[in-house]
């Protein structure tokens, strides 16, 4: 995981938000990531630091931040898994792309 995150951090114009881990019984779940990403999206949109945003999620929690970004003139694209999507999220975004096996394989073949 460390080498994967290191490689992601090397990408130009790419941000990673990890949040915090919280214990739920015997399992852990990541917390605060939605809020961190939403704050970044709104702040960067209204500061005119971005012209487009690409979201990888199916979570409708992002809808208010997406709407604020669009109000600032940002084009918002979403990539989502077919088993994890919310119609409200898909409707809020300007462009929608389903993550398929073919898309993942095509990305794996593309050299950075």
CATH number of residue 67's parent domain: 3.40.50.1010
Residue 17 domain-assigned (yes or no):
no
Residue 20 domain-assigned (yes or no):
no
pLDDT at 94 over 90: yes
Do 85 and 108 contact (CB within 8 A), yes or no?
Answer: no
The residue behind tokens 């918002």 is: 76
Binned at pLDDT 50, 70 and 90, residue 111 comes out as low
Least confident among 8-17, 78-87, 90-99: 8-17
DSSP 99: -
pLDDT at 90 over 90: yes
> What are 43-52's contacts with CB under 8 Å, separation 24+?
45/69, 45/72, 45/73, 45/74, 46/72, 48/72, 50/74, 51/75, 52/76, 52/77
Q: Which domain holds residue 54?
A: 32-109
Q: Give the pTM.
A: 0.78
């Amino acid at each position: 995981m460390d080498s994967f995150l290191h490689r992601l951090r090397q990408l130009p114009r790419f941000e990673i938000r990890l949040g915090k881990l919280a214990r739920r019984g015997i399992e852990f779940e990541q917390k605060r990531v939605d809020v961190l990403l939403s704050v970044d999206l709104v702040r960067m949109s209204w500061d005119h630091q971005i012209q487009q945003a690409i979201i990888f999620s199916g979570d409708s929690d992002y809808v208010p931040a997406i709407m604020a970004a669009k109000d600032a003139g940002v084009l918002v694209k979403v990539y989502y898994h077919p088993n994890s999507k919310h119609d409200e999220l898909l409707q809020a975004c300007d462009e929608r792309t389903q993550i398929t096996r073919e898309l993942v394989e095509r990305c794996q073949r593309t050299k950075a």
